[in-house]
Structure formats: C-alpha cells, structure tokens
Structure 1
Amino acid sequence: MSTASQEIGTHLDACLAQAVAADARMADVAAVIAACAAAAIDVSAVIGRGALGGDLAAQGEHNSDGDVQKALDVLAHERFTEALRGAPVAEVASEEAEGVMVLNPGAPLAVAIDPLDGSSNIGVNMAVGTIFGIRPAVVRAGDPIASFTDPGTAQLAAGFITYGPATSLVVTLGAGTQIYTLDREAGAFRLTHPQLTVPAQSNEYAINASNARHWDTPVKAYIEDCLRGTEGPRDRDCNMRWLGSLVADAQRVLMRGGVFLYPGDNRKGYAQGRLRLLYEAAPVAMLMEQAGAGATDGERRILDIAATGVHERVPLVFGSAEEVTTVATYYGGRNPAAGRSPLFGQRGLIRS
C-alpha cells in the first residue's frame, strides 16, 4: 500500500480504498486489514482500562506451546478470530490454537496471527501487541496446513499492533511500511508515518542479556564486540535496549534503527529460539524489508524459509541492514575469538 499521495491524518479506510482503486486484487487483503484494525480497537479499549476491567493477567489453560494462557491472551484470540470470521479468510493459524482453524471454507485468504504478543507484560502496564501475516489460502488434499507452508515471500501483507501509550497499527501491503495511530475520539486509525525507512546503521541493539551464558559462539562474539565500544573492533559505543515485547522492539527499530536478536541457544528447547516463524518472524521480516531493513535467522533470509509446522520456531535477527549483515559475518566465520573477554570467559570479572 503506497501512501505517497496520502496526507498525514488520513483514515485507514481511505488509504485502503486507495490501494484497492490502484489494484482491485487487493480488495480481500484490505478487508482483512480492516477487520484486524476493528478488533485492535476493541482490544485496545480493554487494555486501556487495565485493572479496572479485571485481572487481565489471570492464568487459565495452556496454549499450543504449553505456556499458560492469561485472560488477555484468550480475549484477544477470541476478538480477532471473530473479526476474521467476517472477512474473506478461509483459515487461521493462531498461537492460541493447536491446529489450523477453518473459518470460511473457499475464501481466498489465510491468516497467521499471534493475538497477544508480550504476555509477560500483561498486568504491569507495559506494551503488548498483535502480529499477523496474510497469505493466499491453499487447498491441498491431505494437507491441513497447506496454506502456511510456503516461504514468507508468499505473504500478501503483514502487520502488527502495539498497545502502548498510543495504539498503533504498523502495516505493509508490499509497497512500503506505514504506521497508523488510533484516534481514540474518532475510534479510527489515522496515518501518522506514511513511509518508514530504517537507517542502515545504528548503535543500538536489543537482546536478552540474561541468557548470555547460553549463547553460541557467534552471538557471544558479536555482543562482546558491541560491549567493547570504541576500544573494540567496531570502533563505536553501543546502547542496549530490551522491552520484552517483540512488537515494541520492532516498532522502535522501524522508527530509529538498531538491531534485534533472539537467537537460538544451548538451553533445552531453545536451539531454534522461541519466536514462531509463521506468525511472528515472517510478518515482522516483511515489514522490515519493506522499510529497507533486513531480517535473518543469523544466516538465512527469514522470508525464504518455509514452515513445516504451524508453531515452528526460528532464530530471529532483524533491523538496520548493515547491522544484520554484520551479525551474519559472525555466523559465517564462527568467530573463534568469542569468549575472549572476561564478560563471557571462564574467568568472570570477580573471579581470581
């Protein structure tokens, strides 16, 4: 969706109408985005009430991954599923459902969605979000997940919603990445960032440093060199950011650059990281690439990876193009110098 001719403040519906006028094939995709936007407004209102609306962090059943669902996880899943039922969506793959859900058999589109990203932030007034990718529906006899096994390049559109101080919809229809901000008084999303361009270079990186002892050699080497600042091979000081919410970290990167890393590590069950390819990594990767950034698993382009299961995991590195390329060089060389600093070596800072 190109918004070059749209003014800041234009309503989402008007921008979607313009995209459909330019290419009638986008009508179904536009309808799905509109449905997601409507559900997001509803969910945003619930989140905005916080504890006044009840205990949104109350624990319930387990989801597809065995994680304990919170009340807001379930609510978001229900609201988005219902909204997508009224759109031209044949199937939905949701983090909160074990298998593919059939909504409207014969409809042209399929949606992969994480209805509530950042569940650990529920109840403490920090940013959470929703992530989705829109794909063509595929029918293949004997294959119930056929719509979701093509590489990420098959996505027709992608987006995420950030429920923070403001609620924003970040979206691409394959012609740039835009941000729409919720006008609470009007009850509608309005264009605030017509064309995002991620700076190619940045001094910011985001990673969960508490897992440092579990990282593999390339990640240790890269982060060590960032920490060494002007005294190290990167010859510049870096700042670390980590919000514990993929959408919040992704929006920061989209707006001011930087690199985000959620690598695989040596813990049991973490060899491929913890992020899901279909409804987290692939949509974010499309948004990044449409803003001039990059997204890999450390070595491979995320959008070239085909899923073999609905809840398949993948390591994820995204952000400023030069920085993503730099991370790849550490993987490519399997840098043997990793761990040379006392920060990651066998002899810690306070060990003798």
Structure 2
Amino acid sequence: MSSPTLETFLNFHVMSGASLAEAVALTIRRLAAAAVILRSTINQGALGIPSSEEHRDAGPGGDIPKALDVLADALFIEAMRQAPVCLYASEELEEVALLDPAGPLAVAVDPLDGSSNIDINVSIGTIFSILPAAGDPVGEPDASFFHRGDAQLAAGFFIYGPQLALVLSVGSGTHVFVFSSRLGVFVQAYGNLVIPPRTQEFAINAANYRHWDEAVRLYVDDCLKGAEGPREKEFNMRWVAAVAADAYRILMRGGVYLYPGDRRKGYGDGRLRLVYEANPIAFLIEQAGGAATDTVNRILDLTPTALHQRVPLVFGSAREVARVGRYHAEPSSIAERAPLFSNRGLFRA
C-alpha cells in the first residue's frame, strides 16, 4: 500500500470537521509550495544567493539578516497572500502585515532558521504557526498572536537538508512528509511520531557554559560525568545551531534540547522567539508525546505580550525535560549531592 500524500492527509483533515480546517489546509498547501521554491534556491548554494551576503537593515531583534532570509520572507508572505490569511508575522518584519482583512487565519513564520548554516552545507529550516485571526485586524493586529500556544490550529517546519521534509501537526499527532522529486509532491514518511520518554542525548551550545545559570551547568555536568556520575549512563552531546534541525533529530530518535537564558547582554530571557519558534516547536513536540518548557513552565501555557518576545526553551523526551525543570525549580531534590557540585565540571576553569 502506497503512503498517503500531503494532499490526501489535508483532505482527511478537512473532512474531520476541525475548526477552520479548510482554511488551514489551503494555507499549508501554499506554505509547502513556497518551500519547494525556496529549496531550489538553497540548493544552488553560493551559485544562488550566498547566505553570507547581508541585508543592510537590522531585523526586529537587532540581528543583521542575510539576503537569503529576506528572500525567504518574501516568498512566504507572497504565498500567504494567496491563502485565507488575515495577518502575517515574521522574524524579518518589525510589525504584523495585514493581508486579507476577511481571512480567518493568522500565520507566524521564521522564514529561514539557521541561515548561517547554508555556507557550510548543514540543514536549515522554516518554522510556522497557524492561529485563528481574532479581534480588530486593523487596529490591533498583534492581538491575534497574543494567545497561549495551545490555541494553535496547526504548526510545522520544513527542513532543507538531504531531503526536503515537512514536519506537521494539525492537532492529531505529529507527521513527517518528504518531498518526492519524482512525483512532485510531499509523501508521508512517518505518521504519529512518538518521542521516547528517556534519552541519553542532549543538545546545547556548550561554548556558553560560563554564562549559564548554575542549574544548567549542574545538569550538563551530571550528564558529562557519564556512567560514573549521578546519572549512571553515558550521554552524547549534539548541536546543529538550527532549532528546526535539532527538533527533527529529537523527533526521530529522542533527546533533549536546551537554549536557556544566560548572563550575556540580551540573553537573559533566552534567544528564541515565543510566537514563531518556541510555540510551534512545542506544539509539534507535545503532539509526539514529548514536553517543552521555559526550563520550568510549559511553553504552550505562556501568553505572549510582545510579537518578538524571547523565551528560554527546553524540549524533547518528557522525562528529561522534567528533570531539567527539577534542577531549576526543586534544588532541594538534589541537595544531598551538593558536595559534587563543587567539583570542577568539564568546562570549568
């Protein structure tokens, strides 16, 4: 029996009678078409638009976007103009764009996650969140994005790597579709993913060790002590520098991802954006049986107060995410091991 296509999957979703299902399905189709176009540019590497070419204007977070970031944003906003989308928010735009005042949906996008990886031929992604449009789209366009993450109607990301893949949830599990160049369509490769609750793999940028809060350093130290340490097992460490790529790995084989806040200027509240990075990733991870927090609180319980609000992010295998939370919220539970904490960790001077 052949695997269903994305089109078949979306048709079943429409027949399910879920809220705004038809509008959601059409929007996902348009996003997928734009991703295929973007992939062809990415695949050209330096022969197309080099990611090292910077755009002259800084983005909303103060980062200097690459030319490829700007191109990706233009592709996706144009795609959303052809969908039933009222409001479009993006990492590359300071303010929400009003597209179709009659559209029932609001879409938030990180057009090119990890764009610096293109020069070294490492996977990058596009992350999106689909919400119901609400309130006054002209007078208060941001309001549609200021809802808890569990209000999302759908979420997903595209991975531009060895395969072009779409990880998608419409609230009924997390599924992976791979683009078939032969057929010219996305075909389901994995359905109803389940993240193993336990793991021996973590992802974090260890170069920031000296800037982390003590709870994060203690957690990483314990993992690195291996079978001889308090965890009594060996851990592997991974870091792709593109949250979508790290999320894809965790969905495939388990693990935990940490991007905590730290003591560097501008990093106190983390670095990832709640609306269009943390929320959609958390939605996908939870739909696959995992967990996602800001180190303590469930991501999908948080209510954004700013469009480009940053948040610490921990996600992945549920038991490991809970353990990270205990290091932050229940230090007394590890107090009996306090003498170990004074030992030098692998990264300590």
TM-score calculated relative to the size of structure 2:
0.94
Shift of 1:125: 1.0
Indicate yes or no: 2:281 matched with 1:273: no
The residue aligned with 2:73 is 77
- Aligned equivalent of 1:245, options 227, 242, 245: 242
Indicate yes or no: 2:17 matched with 1:20: no
Letter matched to residue 102 of structure 1: L
Shift of 1:333: 2.3
- Structure 2 contact 87–141 (Cα < 8 Å) conserved: no
Per-residue CA distance 1:176-204 (angstroms, 9 max, x = gap): 00000011222211100011000000100
Indicate yes or no: 2:298 matched with 1:301: yes
Shift of 1:142: 4.6
Letter matched to residue 125 of structure 2: G
Structure 1 residues 1-352: aligned runs within 5 Å: 9-23=3-17, 25-60=20-55, 61-140=57-136, 142-334=139-331, 337=338, 339-343=341-345, 348=349
Unaligned runs of 5+ in 1: 1-6
Per-residue CA distance 1:248-302 (angstroms, 9 max, x = gap): 1000000100000000001111011100000000000000000000000010000
SS at 2:119 equivalent: coil
Shift of 1:344: 6.5
Letter matched to residue 341 of structure 1: N
- C-alpha separation in 1, matches of 2:343 and 2:59: 40
Letter matched to residue 117 of structure 2: N
RMSD value, Cα: 1.6
Per-residue CA distance 1:23-71 (angstroms, 9 max, x = gap): 2641111111111101100101111121222423311122111111111
- C-alpha separation in 2, matches of 1:294 and 1:100: 29
- C-alpha separation in 2, matches of 1:219 and 1:73: 31
Letter matched to residue 82 of structure 1: E
- Structure 1 contact 205–258 (Cα < 8 Å) conserved: yes
Alpha-carbon spacing, 1:213–1:344, altered in 2? closer, same or farther (3 Å): farther
Letter matched to residue 224 of structure 2: L
Shift of 1:9: 2.8
Shift of 1:120: 1.9
SS at 1:123 equivalent: helix
Letter matched to residue 319 of structure 1: G
Q: Which moved more, 1:116-125 or 1:196-205?
A: 116-125
- C-alpha separation in 2, matches of 1:8 and 1:156: 28
The residue aligned with 1:3 is none
How many residues get paired?
341
- Structure 1 contact 205–241 (Cα < 8 Å) conserved: yes
Unaligned runs of 5+ in 2: none
- Structure 1 contact 296–302 (Cα < 8 Å) conserved: yes
- C-alpha separation in 1, matches of 2:230 and 2:242: 30
- Structure 1 contact 8–190 (Cα < 8 Å) conserved: no
